[in-house]
Chain A
Amino acid sequence: MIRRLIKATAQQVIILLGLAGIPALLTVVFDWEWKKPAEFMEMSATQSEGQMEGLLWVDVRDPDRFEQAHVRGAIALVEETPGPALDSLRERWMPGKRIIVYGEGSGSERAIRAGRMLKREFHTQNVLLLRGGWASWPRDRGVESMPQTVSPQ
Chain B
Amino acid sequence: MIWLLIRAIVSALFIVAGLLKLRDAELTLISVYQYQLMSWESAGVLAATLPWIEIAGGVGIWLPKLRLGGATLCLGLTVLFIAALGSAVARDLDVSCGCFGTSDLHVTALKRLGEDMVLLVLCGGLWRSELHRIRAQLQFEAETA
Contacts and interface: CB of A to CB of B under 8 A. Distances in A.
Nearest to B44: A34
Contact of B53 (A5, A20, A94): A20
A107 interface: no
B4 to A, nearest CB: 19
A51 B93 CA distance: 22
B29 A33 contact: yes
A4 B33 contact: no
Contacts of A9: 68-69, 72, 131, 134
Interface of B: 24-26, 29-30, 33-34, 36, 39-41, 43-45, 47-49, 52-53, 55-57, 60, 65-70, 72-73, 94-96, 102, 105-109, 131, 134-135, 138-139, 142
Max count, chain A CB within 10 A of own CB: residue among B29, B39, B60: B60
Contacts of B26: 33, 41, 43, 47
A125 B43 CA distance: 14
Nearest to A14: B69
Given A54-B102, A126-B30, A13 B48 contact: no
Contact of A24 (B48, B95, B105, B107): B48
B69 A125 contact: no
B36 A12 contact: no
A149 B39 CA distance: 37
B94 A123 contact: yes
Interface of A: 1, 4-5, 8-9, 11-17, 19-21, 23-24, 27-28, 31, 33-35, 38, 41, 43, 47, 51, 54, 94-98, 122-126, 128
Interface of chain A, helix or strand or loop or mixed?
helix
Contact of B30 (A17, A97, A125): A125
A98 B48 contact: no
Given A96-B108, A123-B94, A34 B102 contact: no
A12 B40 CA distance: 31
A28 to B, nearest CB: 5
B76 to A, nearest CB: 8
A5 B134 CA distance: 7
Given A12-B66, A41-B29, A54 B106 contact: yes
Given A41-B30, A54-B102, A126-B96, A34 B138 contact: no
Contacts of B29: 33-34, 41
Given A28-B49, A38-B40, A15 B66 contact: yes
B138 A1 contact: yes
A16 B60 contact: yes
Contacts of B138: 1, 4-5, 8
Contacts of A96: 94-96, 105-108
